[in-house]
Every structure is written in structure tokens, then in C-alpha cells.
Amino acid sequence: MLKFAGILMIFIAGTGMGTAKSMELTKRERNLKKFLWLTSCLKGTVRCGNSCFPEAFLEISEKFDGMYQEFLQSLADRLKGQEGQTLGQIFRDCAKKEFRTAGFSAEEMELIASLGDRLGYLDREMQLRQLDIFEEELCRRLDFLACQLPEKKKLCRNLGILGGIFLGVLLW
């Protein structure tokens, strides 16, 4: 009886691990969509607000919560502090600090961190074009992820279940 309980627990653990990985992929997609929304808000603020970046980041931080709000507020604070770094360096540092738990892939994190390099040194129209280009790249990445996501999620869940069954049979 004890052996059966242990095998059942292994099966449940394997299923849980597969489900957790599946949920992590969903979280990644949700976070990319939220960053796309952040970019759209930033574009609107640059277009209509005609404010400098620290003010724009603080203004749009009110529309977000959690890590996005912390990211925007720390970005605005560091830009106001004028630490002798460029916008790109500050943006990259804040993004790597705040988004380390967002589940982004290395390529996605590099894409997000590179946004700061595209902004801050050009006129308003060029900044808007750079934001448009960034949005297009992020949309392409989201479309690619959306195509793969159902298959990957199913694969993760099934591998978790099969891994639990395999270990249970192996230990039987």
C-alpha cells in the first residue's frame, strides 16, 4: 500500500511539473502582450503628450501594476537622477532587473532591452517610427509564439504525465 501511495505521488508530481511548465508558457505570452500594450501607451504619450521620457514613463506607470509599474517608475527615477548613463543603458538595466521573473526567452529579453537604445536621441517622429518598428517586431514574435503555444503546452502536460507514469513503472 505504501509503495502504491509513493508511485501515485510521483505520478501527481510529474503531472504537476508538466502543468507548471505549461502555465509558464502562458505567462510568457501574457507578459509579452502586456509589454506590447506598454509600448502602445508610450507611443501615445510621446505623440500626444509632448512630454520628456521621465514624465512619460511616470504617466503610463499609473496604467500598470506589478513588475511593469516598478519598471516604469524605476526607469523614470533613474532618468531624473542623471547618473551619467544613456537612456539605452538605464533601460537595459531596469528591464533586466524587473523582468527576470517574467519568463521571457533570451531573445525576447534582448528585444525588450534594445528598445531603450532606439529611443532618446532622435526627434519625435523618429522615436514614433522606432516604436512602430518595435511594435511590429513584438507582434511578429507574439504571432510566432501563438502558433507554437498550444502544441508546446500540450507537449509539456503530456511529458509531465508520461514522466510520472514512467518513474512509477520504473520504481514498481
pLDDT at 137: 94
Contacts of 43-49 with C-beta under 8 Å, sequence gap 24+, read 43/128, 43/131, 43/132, 43/135, 46/124, 46/127, 46/128, 46/131, 47/124, 47/128
Our CA dihedral for 97, 101, 106, 110, rounded to 10 degrees, sits at -40
pLDDT at 31: 92
Angle between helices 124-171 and 106-118 (to 10 degrees): 170
Q: Is the pLDDT of residue 121 over 80?
A: no
How far apart are the C-alpha atoms of 99 and 109, rounded to whole Å?
Answer: 8
**Using one digit for the tens of pLDDT, what is the confidence trace for 1-55?**
888 888 889 889 999 999 999 999 999 999 999 999 999 988 888 888 777 788 8
**Using one digit for the tens of pLDDT, what is the confidence trace for 40-99?**
988 888 888 777 788 888 889 888 988 999 999 998 888 888 777 888 888 888 898 888
